[in-house]
Amino acid sequence: MSAPAFDRMQYLRIESAITDHRRLQDWLKFVAPSRICAWLSQELDMEVPPAFLAAYAVRWGLPKRAYEDEQLFPWPRVRKTHLAMHPAKMLKAEANVRAGVRVGETQLNQLSRFKQMLKRNGQVVDYRPHSEEVWVYVDRRPGVDDDLVRRPDTGD
């Protein structure tokens, strides 16, 4: 049995029940959507689907989530399961740092070591969703790969 479609009336019911928009907007910056939906469902005593969060972010003009940063995630689509892997976590942490989002000290230390390793080895991260490794470290191309990731070929 599939979940019912998310509609505008459901969105409006949920949004009108929210009393602390500031807190929700802060959570959207660094808390997993599943945790936010669980928290809202409990607080509002109604089911809050993940589609609500996406619609809410657009309606309120909130910044994109870290994995939507086109400088650090230049690939057309990154699979959700691949976002849980270490290189993706480090890229998300860097995107959050650049966006001014709070990042914990442990994650900052991991990020620092990750960036040092890439620099020391002259490498960048590449995403290969159909390979066994998925995230691979490849040699940096001088004048092309000027950030932490491999710039996809544009066919020029």
Instruction: Give residue limits of the domains in the chain.
Output: 8-59, 66-139
CB within 8 A of 17, min separation 6: which ones? 44, 46
pTM summary value: 0.62
Predicted confidence at residue 129, as pLDDT, reads 92
For residues 133 and 127, the answer to whether their CB atoms sit within 8 Å is: no
Predicted confidence at residue 1, as pLDDT, reads 38
Predicted confidence at residue 65, as pLDDT, reads 63
Buried b (16+ CB within 10 A) or exposed e, 123-134: bbbbbeeeeeeb
Predicted confidence at residue 81, as pLDDT, reads 87
Please tell me whether residue 149 adopts helix, strand or coil conformation.
strand
Q: How far apart are the first and last CA of the chain?
A: 47
Predicted confidence at residue 155, as pLDDT, reads 55
Q: What is the pLDDT along the chain (156 residues), one digit of tens a residue?
A: 344 456 788 889 999 999 999 888 888 876 777 788 899 999 999 999 888 887 888 888 876 665 567 788 888 788 888 988 999 999 988 988 887 777 889 999 999 999 999 999 999 999 999 999 999 999 999 989 989 999 887 654
Predicted confidence at residue 70, as pLDDT, reads 78
Gap between the Cα atoms of 86 and 89, Å rounded? 5
